[in-house]
Amino acid sequence: MVPVATFRNIAIGQYIPGESMLHRLDPRTKIAVTLLLVVGLFFIDSYLGYGLAALYIALAVLNSGIPARFLFRGLKPVIIIILLTFALNSFLTEGEIIWQWGFLSLTKEGLYKGGLLAVRLILLIVGTSILTLTTSPLALTDGLESLLRPGRRVGIPAHELAMMMTIALRFIPTLLEETEKIMKAQMARGADFESGNLLQRAKSLLPLLVPLFVSAFRRADELAIAMEARCYRGGEGRTKLKQLAFRPADFFVLAGSGVFIVWLALVA
Amino acid sequence: MQKKWDTRVMVEIAVAAALALILGMLRIYRMPYGGSVTLEMVPLFVVALRHGVAAGIWSGFILGILNLFLDPYIIHPVQMIMDYPLPFAALGLAGMFPNKPMLGLVVGTTCRYIIHVLSGAIFFSAYAPEGMNPWIYSLGYNASYIVPNGIIAIVIIGLLLQTPLLKGGKDRGAAKDE
């Protein structure tokens, strides 16, 4: 169990506010380019291609002004996977043996392939974390709604989805505080959340869950009443305080990155 | 969707997703082989049982997208979809049998497991050297954390079924499906 004291300091999300060009780009542009990059990286098949892609990502990082340590922090949980990918491929790919120890044989082809896959993983993780580092979850939600809007015709509830996500994001800090408060209250009454086997712990969590759920659903009820009292009736004709604006810079970034990534994927 | 959404159900779906996200950060038990047991599945099950399959699926879908926006970990284009929105949305299937909630929970958990297994196998076959069987690895690894998570969620829902939260859920106001 996470100690109650540290629970408060859990950072939600990775977004780092800033004023760079990358921060100010339309979220739709950034989502589109990131998706293209994720797919594009899979088609690249050479170190030269990955070098160019790395250069492109480095340029984006420089522009965003995000300290490199935040990017490396994102890599930390996957470092084992990256190393394992590299090692497995290096030793288990058949080819020209350069070094042998027992049944393990390091091959030239394996080193090449393992390195390529490791670089691909690193670029994927760094490339996608730029999006969440420079774009707030709310902006991403707005962008997603706008991108999904054409799907309304085939039944994708773009507005409802975005509304629910916005509400969820707004509720996270409130419910976090509530959780902490209830945990402390129950601990003051002698509740023990931290010992026993799996089943005992599950049972001991009931005094936390029941009040938490009841209060959360009561809040939901109050919000629904408040929304209906203000005549909320779905997405048709709703306006926004902050309109998304697709500016010339977005056009250049989208067109430039699009052409570059497609070229990389097909040629390099 | 041309059908009008019930505002109250919409807000409950959102709040359940937020609760799931928070409970997902509270690790209640660390498994010996790395996975951890959390209660993130419980709020999704509660919504699915209170408001039906569609509400449960949307709640899970939203949880997945929130996780994707807050803490993404993308290593493969297909993995992105199969690790974030889909498995949690599958948990919503728990609302399938309103009269046999336990059966629904097992179905929901199983569907989540299947999607994770597929995702793991796809990832593994993209990154592992040829000749290694991706299925065995994926079946085992995913079972190591989904089975205990599923058991604990089902036990807790079983206990919650005795409380007004789920007992009277159906007749609390405008609680219709969607």
How much is the ipTM here? 0.87
The whole-angstrom separation of Cα A116 and Cα A19 is: 34
pLDDT digit of tens for each residue in chain B (178 aa)? 445 788 999 999 999 999 999 998 887 776 665 567 889 999 999 999 999 999 999 999 999 999 999 888 888 888 888 989 999 999 999 999 988 999 999 999 999 999 999 998 888 888 877 777 888 888 888 888 899 899 989 989 988 888 777 865 444 443 333 3
The residues in B 105-144 lying below 8 A from A, measured between CB atoms, are 127-132
**Contact assignment for A198 to B5 by CB distance below 8 Å:** no
The whole-angstrom separation of Cα A56 and Cα A37 is: 10
Q: CA-based diameter of chain A, in Å?
A: 75
**Contact assignment for B73 to A176 by CB distance below 8 Å:** no
Residues in chain A: 268
The residues in B 73-92 lying below 8 A from A, measured between CB atoms, are 73-77, 80
Chain B residues touching residue A179 (CB < 8 angstroms)? 22, 26
Q: Determine the Cα angle at A247 with ends A245 and A253, to 5°.
A: 120
CB nearest to A2's CB, from B26, B80, B128: B26
- CATH fold of B7-160 reads Arp2/3 complex 21 kDa subunit ARPC3 (1.10.1760)
**Contact assignment for B12 to A220 by CB distance below 8 Å:** yes
| Sequence-ordered list of residues with C-beta below 8 angstroms from that of A210, at least 6 positions apart, any chain | B160, B163, B165
Find the residue in A nearest to B61 (Cα): A161
Torsion of CA A125, A130, A131, A133, to 10 degrees: 110
What pLDDT, on a 0 to 100 scale, did the predictor assign at position B174? Answer: 39
Calculate the average pLDDT of chain A: 88
Contact B23, B38 (CB under 8 A): yes
**Contact assignment for B43 to A213 by CB distance below 8 Å:** yes
**Contact assignment for A176 to B22 by CB distance below 8 Å:** yes
